[in-house]
Amino acid sequence: MSKEEYILELNNVTRSFGEREEEVCVLENIDLKIKKGEFVAIVGFSGTGKSTLINLMGGLLPPSTGEVLCREKPVLGPSPDRGVIFQNYSLLPWLSVAGNVGLAVNQIYKDKSKKERKEIIEKYVDMVALSPAIDKKPKELSGGMRQRVSVARALSMDPEILLMDEPLSALDALTRSVLQDQILDIWKKTGKTIVLITNDVDEGLYMADRIIPLKIGPNATLGPSFKIDMARPRDRKNMNNDDKFKKLRAEVIKFLNNEKAKEKAANTSSESYPLPDIEPVTV
């Protein structure tokens, strides 16, 4: 595969919701090209359409205009090639860990025997280090463990691309860093393409090859792409002393802050209402 071939492409994609006058354009003119095996992070403030972007890539939502291509073919719906990991884990509460992973495995490996499928399930549960909890129900697991089940479920479909929608944002800082390393480890082992949506710039910088800020919506579009050419494995402890890292972080944060400032200015200029001249009545 030549370097110019992209596994996932978004060409001039626009997505709006609502009808006619109430139509709100969430994403506009999104152009994104992702190479095979690449780890791309998309960072932005909450409510800017990050999840919409993932849903477009995953095929859960069709674009209003423009096209989403996966290996040069238009994406018409969800497919097992593109595993999605949702922010709120989306585990089925009535199934055990094995059951949740099994739902995907049974769907993808329909022609394999029961025993083989069981082995596959065990393999992926083991990959996220949850073997001891394989028969537990989601409500008996901690947040981090639940997200690992979700990762195992997505991996078990053996997708080419993993789309992660803020997978770690609901977790505490310690669990978060452990899971970050686990995801990186899996990425290294499997060579999958990963798109990570996050609201944490440091997370993006630590994990990804490329970080792209998303501007503030409505009509949000992608900002410039920042390449993170730091050697792997990256050292979490010394990151903060790394000049390259500091410079990149400053740039990304500056970009995002500018966006925020622009939004504020726009809001105050157009939506400043005069306060009514009233006083409370005392009875």
Nearer to another protein, 86 or 206 (CB): 86
Q: Distance between CA atoms of 242 and 227, rounded to whole angstroms?
A: 15
Query: 74 pairs with which residues across the strands?
Result: 69
The reply on whether position 94 binds another protein by CB under 8 A is: yes
Interface region with another protein, contact rule CB under 8 A, candidates 19-27, 80-88, 125-133, 187-195: 80-88
Give Cα separations from 44 to 51, 127, 149, 255 (angstroms).
Answer: 11, 30, 26, 10
Q: Distance between CA atoms of 232 and 82, rounded to whole angstroms?
A: 25
The reply on whether position 103 binds another protein by CB under 8 A is: yes
The residue from 83, 167, 204, 213 that contacts another protein (CB under 8 A) is: 83
Residue from 173, 157, 195, 215 nearest 27 by CA: 215
For 115: left if phi > 0, alpha if psi spans -120 to 50, otherwise beta; the answer is alpha
Interface region with another protein, contact rule CB under 8 A, candidates 74-82, 219-227, 229-237, 247-255: 74-82
Return the biggest CA–CA distance within the chain. 80
Q: Distance between CA atoms of 25 and 17, rounded to whole angstroms?
A: 6
Q: Which residue has the tokens 């609502």?
A: 18
Query: Which of the residues 132 through 161 are near another protein (CB under 8 A)?
Result: 139, 157
Interface region with another protein, contact rule CB under 8 A, candidates 29-37, 101-109, 173-181, 209-217: 101-109
DSSP class per residue in 211-274:
EEEBPPSSSB-B-PPEE----SS--HHHHTT-HHHHHHHHHHHHHHHHHHHHHHHHHHHHS-PP
The residue from 3, 46, 93, 281 that contacts another protein (CB under 8 A) is: 93
Nearer to another protein, 29 or 88 (CB): 88
The residue from 24, 76, 92, 129 that contacts another protein (CB under 8 A) is: 92
Nearer to another protein, 85 or 256 (CB): 85
Query: Which of the residues 44 through 73 are near another protein (CB under 8 A)?
Result: 58, 60
CB 62 to another protein: min, Å? 12
CB 167 to another protein: min, Å? 13
Binding stretches for another protein (CB under 8 A): 58, 60, 77-80, 82-84, 86, 88, 90, 92-95, 103-104, 107, 139, 157
